Amino acid sequence: MVIDPQHTYVHLADDGKAHQVSGDSFWQLPPEAFDSFGKGWLVSEFLFTEDWPTWEMHPQGEEFVYLLSGAVELLLDRGNEVETILLNGSGAVVVPRGVWHTAKVRVPSRMLHVTRGEGTENRPV
pLDDT at 105: 98
Task: Supply φ then ψ for residue 4, to 5 degrees.
Answer: -100, 105
Rounded distance between C-alpha atoms, residue 66 and residue 5, angstroms: 13
Q: Which domains does the chain have, with CATH numbers?
A: 8-124 (2.60.120.10)
pLDDT at 34: 65
pLDDT at 37: 67
* pLDDT tens, position by position, 3-59: 888 888 888 888 888 888 888 777 677 777 766 666 788 899 999 999 999 999 999
Query: Cα dihedral angle (57, 59, 66, 84), rounded to 10 degrees?
Result: 50
* pLDDT tens, position by position, 85-112: 999 999 999 999 999 999 999 999 999 9
Nearest to 50 by CA among 125, 121, 120: 125
25: DSSP letter: H
Residues in the chain: 125
Mean pLDDT on 58-77: 96
